[in-house]
Structure 1
Amino acid sequence: MKKLTMKQIEEGTGGRLIRGSGLAEVGEICTDSRKAKSEDLFFALVGDNHDAHSYIGQVIEAGSRNLVISDEAALSQAKGAEEVSAVLVEDTTAALQHLAAYYLGLLDMKKIAVTGSTGKTSTRDMIWYVCCEKYKAQKNVGNLNNHIGVPLTILSFEEDTQVGILEMGMDKFGEIDLLAELARPDIGVITNIGLSHIENLGSQEGIFQAKMELTNYFDEKNTLIVHQDDEFLNKERIQGPYRLVTTGFDGKSDYIISRIDDFGAEGIQFTLEHRGQTQRFSLPVPGRHNAFNGALAVAAGAQLGITMEEAARGLSKVRLTDKRLTVRGKNGIKVIDDTYNASPDSMKGAIDVLMHTRGLRSVAVLGDMFELGQTSGEQHRLVGTYAAEQGVELLVAVGKDARFIAEGAKEAGLKQVRYFSDKKGFLSEMESIIEKGDVILVKGSRGMKMEEIVKIIME
């Protein structure tokens, strides 16, 4: 982070300096009192179940002398309060967002925003690898992609950053709009329109409209990039003053994808054609669907002058964020860890990876998918049907709604199906279910914490 004075913090947050010197400098932003240190600017965030003003004394004791607060009384009661510089605001979360927007105005950089129902983190990572071939680029750490994570990401950008890649998540209307207004991206990427969060957004049309909030502040200088084989993301449906760039298989896209070769856990290769130029890409991450994400990354890089040859070098180095199709092996068993989250589309994509990974037996351990609303039973059942049709040899369904996965698999003719209402039940019988030589896919929604199964398998 570029160092800022408390006077700049006052200006950027729209608050009022009530203690200390405006000349005091801060070098990093901190929202976790347990990690506060000297030169940090501590934001006392207030959430539904916590109020960080309770930890102001702890923060001061740790050496942090610069604060943004909304409760002046809490500061006055804290030991060491006379030693700090503090800016008072009405809402510390909103102040964090305002400061991020202010900070971006101090930097000379291009901004790429990535959203979508699935694949946004993988696409963000791929764009970063592509951009690093030519520029100093930074991106979200982990999954800091919400109304707090995106501002924190922005405020972590170093002064000489040339390209910032921002993943933007949402589960209701207005959230992408807030982040888009804050970041004002030059380039937007929407990976797809699936069923994630349909419980909150009502329909796929609602999901489409929520994702398109990314373009609310676009004009003729901006570019939106989409994979147009998606039912919703195509030139017929998307209209705006901005430039639209598409990827796809139909031969009419700006970037035409062809010849996808799937090598299972070893990764994939695919070909892209753009304006008569053809380039072969090797991507060392599994899943045919990652050809779509890779094509989006190439198209994004091209808007910044990165050639397809340079993009190919970048994609050949890709390592995805943890728990996204990570392949691990131990004691003759291979585990495909895709436990970060799950939706119907990503479940099917992970099953495809399983079926292209070598082993003596293919095993899918699949948990509940959340936030599918009234479509939940049907969508779980369709995943089970898909697993059977693709040739999964043993399916283990874990969770309340996962019973529909088991039912769908059985109805489609899969003989080896086991169902457990919770992880505890499966883990109690796991040793008798898993065999040496198995390739095991483990996947479910974040709240299922399916990584606990991976951990025990790998012990």
Structure 2
Amino acid sequence: MANTEQLYKHYLNHPTICTDTRTITKGCLFFALKGENFDANTFALQAIEQGAAFAIVDNEEYAKNDQCILVPDVLTALQDLAKHHRKQLTIPVIGLTGSNGKTTTKELIRAVLAERFKTFATKGNLNNHIGVPLSILSMQSDIEIAVIEMGANHQKEIEFLCEIAQPTHGLITNVGMAHLDGFGGFEGVKKGKAELFAYLKAQHGFAFINRNNPYLLEMSERADLNKVIYYGTEKENAVSGELKNSDPLIEFNWSTKGKNHEAKANLTGTYNFENILAAICIGNFFDLTPSQINNGLANYFPTNNRSQLTKTENNTLICDFYNANPSSMTAALNNLKALSAEHKIAIIGDMFELGAEGPEQHEIVVELAAQNELSTLFIGKSFYEFKDKYPGQFFSSPADAANHLQDNPIKGKLVLLKGSRGMALEQLLPLL
């Protein structure tokens, strides 16, 4: 059985990690992970034949030759290897979590810091018990600063990911009504996210806190943090800001040390202003100039259907359907109401992982759309339950909605698309 130190010697010679035979690169280390419906041990020899230098397996039956390295458990070996590699790095690592806006905030921070530093940031949303180790092991010796996104759907998960990523600095974007089923309600969400603060407290790390968020203030005070940098709209913060316009893109002023600066961002949604301020605060903390910070913000363009403004032949779309929960859905609908476009419509899909609170939370969203007097298409089984109770058009599936849009095309409107990832609302884009 190989131990972590032995694996690390192989990693130093072969620093590319693969977990899927469809992405094998020559000279990589293939970790044969198990899933609910597969056992990658069975692909170990195939990975070697495709060019992997070694395959790490935990089933002796598949340790066929010297290129197959046997360990007690492949996932644990991957996580321990990442921990070991992280300990060799003496750079600042910013740990990032939150209910909403994690990936957008991470990308904003990356864009800002990259104006001065060789910066690493989590690719996509590789933010779980597999993604975080893969992210850490993607960090090479020339990296000067890193931003590691950490996601969670139950308590103790952030605590575990902190042990792998070992953040020196940290940020919780917000706490909201997300993954209620796994966390056991909103108080469970707060407790789970606060595990980042507990880690930073124990390791004497720095926390960046949005002073406008009462939940974050409460959580930081409870954690008794002693290294805190505040941002928000009030002048006493290390960085403060004032939103000037968000119709549809954000324009604002920000200040630090008594000096004011004007800036713009390629983002829509008032809810993104606090994410922008977080990136400015972190850039300012790491001594970037105001010009570098503003350049970084201006160079960031949202992708992957997160607050992404897109113009088609027929409409202007706000594509914000990478994921959804009651908090982010409320923010998106309120933002749509506030925009000055004359013709607006919301196309929203079911929100997942809400457990017993699902029916109530979906009804709250339907009520909000009605109160905001928004023309709305509701899609999914959870929303469909309210078709006889509220105004709007209700469809039990995206396919039914697609058929409707084919027969009743939308033209000349500002369209918000928002829903959980599993609703796959991207299938409606060709019809808009």
What is the TM-score normalised by the length of structure 1?
0.87
| Structure 2 match to 1:47 | 35
User: Equivalents in 2 of 1:422, 1:246: separation in Å?
Assistant: 44
> 2-side partners of 1:329 and 1:24: how far apart?
46
Counterpart of 2:416?
A: 441
Say whether residues 1:328 and 2:310 are aligned partners: yes
Residue number in structure 2 paired with 1:274: 256
> Aligned with 1:105: secondary structure?
helix
Q: Which of 398, 403, 406 is matched with 2:379 structurally?
A: 398
Residue 202 (structure 1) shift: 1.8
Which among 30, 37, 49 is matched to residue 18 of structure 2? 30
> Helix, strand or coil: the match of 1:233?
helix
Matched, 1:457 2:420: no
Correspondence for 1:61: 49
Alignment partner, residue 228 of structure 1: 211
Instruction: Measure how far apart 1:140 and its partner are.
Output: 1.2
Query: Is residue 197–residue 223 contact of structure 2 (8 Å, CA) maintained in 1?
Result: no
| 1:166 and 2:141 correspond | no
Distance in 2, matches of 1:205 and 1:251, equals 30
Structure 1 segments, 4+ long, off by >6 Å, are 21-24
Give secondary structure in 2 for the equivalent of 1:218. Answer: helix
Cα distance in structure 2, aligned partners of 1:146 and 1:23 = 21
Partners of 2:12 and 2:231 lie apart in 1 by 49
Structure 1 counterpart of 2:431, one-letter code: I
Letter aligned with residue 344 of structure 1: P
Is the CA contact (8 Å cut-off) linking 2:7 and 2:81 kept in structure 1?
no
Q: For residues 2-41 of structure 1, what are the structure 2 equivalents within 5 Å?
A: 13=4, 25-41=13-29
Aligned with residue 88 of structure 1, among 50, 67, 70: 70
Match of 2:223 in 1: 239
Q: Which residue of 1 aligns with 2:59?
A: 71
Are 2:162 and 1:180 equivalent residues in the alignment?
yes
Question: Counterpart of 1:431 in 2: which secondary structure?
Answer: helix
Tell me what 1:423 maps to: 398
1:388 has 2:370 as partner: yes
Once the two structures are superposed, what CA deviation does each residue of 1:223-279 show, in whole Å capped at 9, x if it has no partner? 111223223111674432441222223555443332331121xx2012223342322
The one-letter amino acid of 2:136's match is: I
User: Identity percentage over the alignment?
Assistant: 30
Q: 1:368 to 1:161 in 2, by over 3 A?
A: same
- Paired AA for residue 26 in structure 2: S
The equivalent residue for 2:347 is 365
**Residue number in structure 2 paired with 1:192:** 174
Alignment match of 1:134 (pick from 103, 116, 122): 116
Counterpart Cα distance in 1 of 2:10 and 2:311:
55
**CA RMSD between the two structures:** 2.5
- Larger mean CA deviation between 42-51 and 168-177 belongs to 42-51
Q: How big is the shift at 1:364?
A: 0.7
State which drifts further: 65-74 or 217-226. 217-226
Out of 240, 243, 249, the position equivalent to 1:259 is 243
Structure 2: state its 5+ residue gaps.
Answer: none
Residue identity matched to 1:401: S
Equivalent position of 1:413 in the other structure: none
1:72-114 deviation digits (Å, cap 9, x = unpaired): 21122xxxx3xx4343221111111111111122333210111
Q: Relative to 1, partners in 2 of residues 1:271 and 1:24: Cα closer, same or farther, differing over 3 Å?
A: closer
- Alpha-carbon distance in 1 for matches of 2:10, 2:420: 46
Q: How many residues align?
A: 430
Q: What amino acid does structure 2 have at the position aligned with 1:229?
A: N
Alpha-carbon contact 1:117-1:195 (below 8 Å) kept: yes
User: 1:407 and 1:128 mapped to 2: Cα distance?
Assistant: 46
- TM-score relative to the length of structure 2: 0.92
Rounded Cα–Cα distance in structure 1 between residues aligned with 2:305 and 2:102: 14
Q: Is the 8 A contact 2:243 2:273 kept in 1?
A: no
SS of aligned partner of 2:252: strand
Match of 2:191 among 200, 209, 214: 209
The SS at the match of 1:376 is helix
SS in 1 for 2:223: coil
Secondary structure of the residue that 2:69 maps to in structure 1?
strand
Question: How far does residue 22 in structure 1 lie from its aligned partner after superposition?
Answer: 6.3
Q: Deviation string for 1:1-58 (max 9, x for gaps)?
A: xxxxxxxx955x26689xxx96993131010012223210010111222110011121
C-alpha distance in 1 between matches for 2:302 and 2:336? 17
Task: Give the secondary structure class of the aligned counterpart of 1:269.
Answer: strand
3-state secondary structure, aligned to 2:142: coil
Whole-angstrom CA distance in 2 between matches of 1:157 and 1:321? 23
Aligned to 1:327, the other structure's residue is in SS state strand
Where in structure 1 are there 5+ consecutive unaligned residues?
Answer: 1-8, 411-416
Could you say what secondary structure the match of 1:217 adopts? helix
Separation in structure 2 between the aligned mates of residue 23 and residue 103 of structure 1, nearest angstrom = 9
SS in 2 for 1:171: coil
Shift in alpha-carbon separation, 1:280–1:22, aligned structure 2, 3 A: closer
